[in-house]
A = this chain, B = another copy of it.
Amino acid sequence: MADVKTGYNPLFLREEELRQAMELLFFAYRDFTRVPDQILAKHGFGRAHHRVIYFVGREPGITVSELLRLLQITKQSLSRLLSQLVREGFIQQSPGAQDRRQRRLELTEQGRALERELSENQRRLIAAAYREAGAEAVEGFRRVMLGMIEEGDRRRFDRREGQPESGAGPRRLTR
């Protein structure tokens, strides 16, 4: 175990180490979302809109139920977000080719512009952290983070070049 400075009381270190991890998550997430939240506020949107914009940008043609599975919120909540984003011209819908019940979602040009603006900042933050920490640390970061993520969503992170396939079946549609 990474042999830390003095003392070496493994029990204490373990407890302390785990607490530090909890705090790392809290602080990193807090700081990771700060700037995007400010940008979103100018449009009258919130963090939830960002998540929708992000995943629709990431997987153009994604369906509502796939989005629901990723976000793990209720369809009523998602519906509110989506209808705002459609109404204001950031997302457009079109019926699925095989299954015409589906609404396939994609960003409009305006939506792509906002997406870029939002993620630019986050990419910069991460790129800086990656650069500082070095390639080996990045690999470790990936491994630890993956271990905390629910099984069904891990496949997104297989080293690959194509688009993600959004995992297994649905899991809590309306509850």
Measured between beta carbons, the chain B residues less than 8 angstroms from A20 are: 142, 156-157
CA distance A151 to B6 in the complex (A): 25
Interface 9-residue window, one of A85-93, A101-109, A132-140: A132-140
Which parts of A72-116 form the interface with B (CB within 8 Å)? Answer: 72
A106 to B12 CA separation, bound complex (whole angstroms): 21
Q: Which of A22-30, A38-46, A60-68 contacts B (4 or more CB under 8 A)?
A: A22-30
In the bound complex, residues from chain B placing their C-beta under 8 Å from that of A11 are none
- B133 to A27, Cβ gap below 8 A? no
Give chain B residues whose Cβ lies under 8 Å from the Cβ of A127.
14, 18
A80 to chain B, nearest CB (A): 19
Cβ of A31 within 8 Å of any chain B Cβ, yes or no, is yes
Cβ B25 vs Cβ A32 within 8 A: yes
A39 to B57, CA, bound (A): 34
Chain B residues with CB under 8 A of A72: 30
**Does A168 make an interface contact (CB < 8 A)?**
no
Given A1-B135, A28-B149, residue A21 in contact with residue B143 (CB < 8 A): no
Q: Given A1-B138, A15-B123, A133-B146, list of 16 further CB < 8 A pairs?
A: A2-B139, A5-B159, A6-B161, A20-B156, A22-B119, A22-B123, A23-B156, A24-B146, A25-B32, A28-B145, A28-B149, A125-B148, A129-B145, A130-B144, A134-B143, A140-B144
Interface residues in chain A, defined as those with a beta carbon under 8 Å from any beta carbon in chain B: 1-2, 4-7, 12, 14-32, 51, 54, 58, 72, 119, 122-123, 125-130, 132-150, 153, 156-157, 159, 161
